[in-house]
Structure 1
Amino acid sequence: MNIMLVDDEPLELEQLEYLIQKRFPTWKFFKAQDASQAVQILKQHDIMLAFLDIQLPGKSGLELAAELTRSHKMDIIMVTAFQNFEYAQTSIRLGVVDYITKPVIEDELLEVLKRYERIGRYSEPIMNALQIIHQEYSEKLTLNYLASKIHINPAYFSRKFHEEVGMGFSEYLNDYRLKEAQRMLIENPELSINTISDRCGFNSQHYFSQIFRKITGYSPRDYRLKETLR
């Protein structure tokens, strides 16, 4: 898996690479100190995950994230030394998968990276499929659509997905959507349950609430209240 780290401080780049590489030794790292270097890397390599420092010289990390989400399929995690609510909200609106603050704490970093733990063991077609799911989970994704995007037979793709991921395509997609919904419920208290259901790709609020309760034991509204009171 190719991962890109963007920070104008070389020591921060080295530390972040060191912390991630301890847990994911097979990942390949590409490092940039500003947006222009990052763009050059993207012209030569397929990047699945990028860590972007918000305070970059020239084009900011948020501006770079906006550009990347428009033109590339990758997951983005923002990094900043400032615990600024506005930064966090802007990051969420851009569709980044997470937001962490400096100094980076190893346990918190690994918690953010849990969703990628199995990726190093996947074949390239399945990695490509997972990347599409992580980017387009809010759309009406189907197995046939994914198979066509990665240019393999749908029946073979279905079998291969289950063999490598340990669950079927639909189950994985719903699981990923539910995790994103849980995050949105906590981080976006201003959003209605219906809006979150729609943004996470569920066909109806009723179905979303039904499957959410089945998996978590709570309704979306009760889950939000429980987590808010912690």
Structure 2
Amino acid sequence: MVSSNAASIGFLPRADGSGSFVSGRTSIIASVTGPMEVRIRDEHPQKAHVEVIVRPAIGVTSTREKYLEARLLSALKPLILRSNHPRTLIQIVVQVVQTAGTDENASTTLLLLAPAMNAAVLALLDAAVPLKSVLAATTVAFMKGSGGVVVEPGLDELKNSASTHVLAFTSTGQLGFVESDGEFEYEDFERVVEAGRGVCSVEQKGHHAMDTEAKYHAVGELIRKIMSQKVEMDMRWRA
């Protein structure tokens, strides 16, 4: 069963954009600063430099955070229209607030990746950074024995899974990012992708009362509703 998700934006006054995403027992905050002045060594004459920094909930930065930085950068960098802001820096800082587990193995690390990506995308949208598309990410586990799929699994379900997958889909439903761990067949992966696409769809599936702390099962629907409310609030001056 899909765990409840919660999201919010615009809560950090000193950042150009901010977003938070909670999935089960995992909570992530992201901030975006920029476009701003860039170091000379990172300056690009025709496009912006993108930097991702991941900070752990406790302790100092380890290989887990460096891995998350690399994967987030590979997913988010192609989204940004970097040519709109040449010779500048767009900095994305991801703060892990709470994690589902303390073990730094591949599966528990993957549990952080999808919420971190969703929080970063919300922060980019809040900062009005020009994007080619919007990504919505989720985690899907393929279970041993039963051959079933579990969307946004918990730690107990991860222990009984044959493989774990982080999937991100664009607003048009195209698969934009994949990170997998474990053994699986092509047919199994097709089932995983379809389950992930259903959760990440941005299509409206019903009429709900909306607030920035509202909880939904569908990640894509939640992101769409959060941003729809932001646009509505920003355009109130027209009334």
For normalisation by structure 2, the TM-score amounts to: 0.28
Hey, which of these two has a bigger chunk of strand by percent? Answer: 2
Q: Which has the higher helix share?
A: 1
Q: Which of the pair has the greater relative contact order for Cα pairs under 8 Å at 6+ separation?
A: 2
Could you tell me the TM-score, scaled by structure 1's length? 0.28
